[in-house]
Amino acid sequence: MAETTTAIAEPTRRDFLFIATGAAAAVGGASLVWPFIQSMTPDAATVAAGAPVEVDLTPIAEGQIVKVFWRGKLIFVRHRTPAEIKAAEDVNVATLRDPQPDSARVKPGHAPWLIVYGNCTHLGCVPLGQQGEYKGWFCPCHGSVFDTSGRVRGGPAPINLPIPPYNFVSDTKIVIGQGATA
Amino acid sequence: MSQHSSTYVPKSAFGKWFESRLPIAGLIHSSFIVYPVPRNINYFWTFGAILSFMLASQILTGVFLAMYYTPHASLAFQSVEHIMRDVNFGWLIRYMHANGASMFFVAVYVHIFRGLYYGSYKAPREILWILGVIIYGLMMATAFMGYVLPWGQMSFWGATVITNILAAIPVVGDTIQSLLWGGYSVGNPTLNRFFSIHYLLPFMIAGVVILHIWALHVPGQNNPTGVPIKSDKDTVPFTPFATIKDLFATAVFMILFAWFVFYIPNYLGHADNYVPANPSVTPAHIVPEWYFLPFYAILRAIPDKLGGVIAMFASIAVLAFLPWLDTSKVRSTSYRPLYKQFFWILVADTLLLGWLGAKPPEGWYVIVSQIATAYYFIHFLVILPLLGFIERPLPLPNSILESVLGQKGGAGLPAGANAEPQSKG
């Protein structure tokens, strides 16, 4: 009995084994959790279905907004009228909640084409086109207002409608999702 | 389930043999037969039993629905219609399940406000109360995921809005959202895992309910006077008194439940949820189920995404801190003349928030939502802590028995008893 009381002062081989076993169990437990969490991330089929999509712009008339899907996400392809482009360009950028000039939201030389994600940046509802104070979009769920450049101008949305990754492959065709990470 | 020693004596030889190996009959006997309950508890104390019944009802109907339901984005809506039209009595089981969720929340709100009125959260019942807040949180998660399963328009857009709320959490928000979605947006993997978790959570609720009852049976039940049990004369045995009263109240509650199921089964639902989910169109007016409306109003009242999310979660989390926010030592509101007024203002404020949650977020609705939200937090964080110091409570009865017999004057209450304010005693 006297031996066990003195053993407290100095670490013994038993203490080492106890800590080493505990550490091995902790690492083992964490390794076991990993595959379960990973199983909840997007699977291979979902990733494959997220390949880039082509959109032909020829049938989209001036003033029209077309909805397309990429990776299950709604995307607005808007063929803007000259008046809408002018309205978007004539804004004092410094007054915006998420300051971005219109030129940064379209591809150079393709000002009529605005391509933005179609879910409100507040809580993901689909805003209604050509409505609201700036005739861009108006979200019916919580009242966010967007202009003809998809920039937030009022309501609870924190940022502008984001621009998906896309490229013009010709003047009348875009590819959405090229170069996007999986 | 309690530390009270069991007085149960098995009669048969088999009973003795069994009891010495697994003393479950003795546990039931001491917890639900001879267990002493205050003799003055009113019908608000029957909602625990009603909630147990609703949990059992939801699990039973849910297990049967799962036999016919298909958790797949392209088949879920059809399978629900299949349940409604083809499965024998499928309509009944589904309406019981859908309206049962609402009845569950009706009962839990009565149960919560009962606790608020009679100070059932105060020492020594803090853990009991916090377990209740946890059950309430689990109930909300279960109800939300269950509403997604029919995969109608409200299901889809409700799931979209709520999962986007979680994305507002700094640093880990996007990861949580991705793990909930299992894809790049709300889709089939989301539906699959919501079904799995919706099936899991009720059993977790049942587990926490057992802890809740355990924590209840340690200090015993509170009562309308808030005065603790002092002698055997203050109590009656659980069976038959509480058992019969609970059964009667449950039967009455079932009349309300049956009225919804058989006469107005879609009254609390939304017509939009009979339209299949369509990710390209949002319903004109997204509203959550009625039991979430006060919190939805708080979410929308704050003109900032993260701020709104924080306020919404805080409005529920603040309940867990109630035992320490309320500084008054007097439990029952019957003896707190000032708090009684603020209690009813809080009830009105919560109902107002619920009404505002169903309104479109525009014009003066937004301003009133902001005022009502501010008041909700002021009640818990300012009024409640201060009242304990300001308020002069009414004299408490000496015992439960005395309050029941309506003893006044004489030996019951010496004049000096009023001299000492009960606020800090």
Does B198 count as an annotated binding residue? yes
Let me know the angle formed at the C-alpha of A17 by A15 and A20, rounded to the nearest 5 degrees.
Answer: 110
> With contact defined as beta carbons under 8 Å apart, do A160 and A121 qualify?
yes
Q: E strand or H helix at B236, and its extent?
A: strand B235-237
Contacting residues of B for A50, CB less than 8 Å apart: 184
Contacting residues of B for A37, CB less than 8 Å apart: 179
Task: Judge whether A73 is closer than 8 Å to chain B, CB to CB.
Answer: yes
Query: What pLDDT does residue B422 have?
Result: 45
The pLDDT tens digits of the residues spanning B242-251 come to 999 999 999 9
Does B217 count as an annotated binding residue? yes
Q: How far is A152 from chain B (nearest CA, A)?
A: 13
Confidence (pTM):
0.87
Tell me the mean pLDDT in the region B126-145: 97
Task: Judge whether B161 is closer than 8 Å to chain A, CB to CB.
Answer: yes
Does domain B27-404 fall under CATH 1.10.150.120? My reply is no
Closest C-alpha among A93, A155, A102 to residue A128: A155
DSSP 8-state class, residue A95: G
The rounded percent of chain B whose pLDDT value lies above 70 is 94
In order, the DSSP letters of A39-90 are TTS--HHHHHTT--EEEE-TT--TT-EEEEEETTEEEEEEE--HHHHHHHHT
The alpha helices in B225-336, defined as continuous H runs, are 243-263, 293-301, 305-320, 322-325
Task: Judge whether A18 is closer than 8 Å to chain B, CB to CB.
Answer: no
Hey, which residues 182-211 in chain B have their CB within 8 Å of chain A?
Answer: 182-187, 189, 193
Contacting residues of B for A161, CB less than 8 Å apart: none
User: Rounded to a whole number, what is the largest CA-CA distance in chain A?
Assistant: 94
Catalytic sites of A, residue numbers:
142
Q: Is residue B416 predicted with pLDDT exceeding 50?
A: no
Contacting residues of B for A68, CB less than 8 Å apart: none
Hey, which residues 258-287 in chain B have their CB within 8 Å of chain A?
Answer: 279-282, 284-286
Nearest to A122 among B193, B284, B305 (CB): B305
* Domain range summary for chain B, segments of one domain joined by +: 27-404
Query: A156 vs B157: CB contact, 8 Å cut-off?
Result: no
The pLDDT tens digits of the residues spanning A88-101 come to 999 988 899 999 99
Query: What pLDDT does residue B423 have?
Result: 43
Query: What pLDDT does residue B408 have?
Result: 52
Alpha-carbon span B27 to B303, nearest angstrom: 53
Q: What chain A residue is nearest to B186 in terms of C-alpha separation?
A: A72
Task: Judge whether B179 is closer than 8 Å to chain A, CB to CB.
Answer: yes
The pLDDT tens digits of the residues spanning B155-194 come to 999 999 889 888 888 889 889 999 999 988 999 999 999 9
Give residue for tokens 């818990």: B380
In order, the DSSP letters of A105-142 are GS-TT-TTEEEEESS-TTT---PEET-STTSSEE-TTT
> With contact defined as beta carbons under 8 Å apart, do A101 and A111 qualify?
no
Query: A124 vs B361: CB contact, 8 Å cut-off?
Result: no
Does B212 count as an annotated binding residue? yes
Residues in chain A: 182
- Identify the residue with better confidence: A6 or B349: B349
Contacting residues of B for A143, CB less than 8 Å apart: 360-362
Query: A72 vs B186: CB contact, 8 Å cut-off?
Result: yes
Query: What pLDDT does residue A142 have?
Result: 80
Question: Taking chain A, what is the end-to-end CA distance rounded to the nearest angstrom?
Answer: 63
Q: Kindly state the tokens that stand for B204.
A: 């977790």
Query: What pLDDT does residue A1 have?
Result: 46
ipTM above 0.85, yes or no: no
The pLDDT tens digits of the residues spanning B342-376 come to 999 999 999 999 999 998 877 899 999 999 999 99
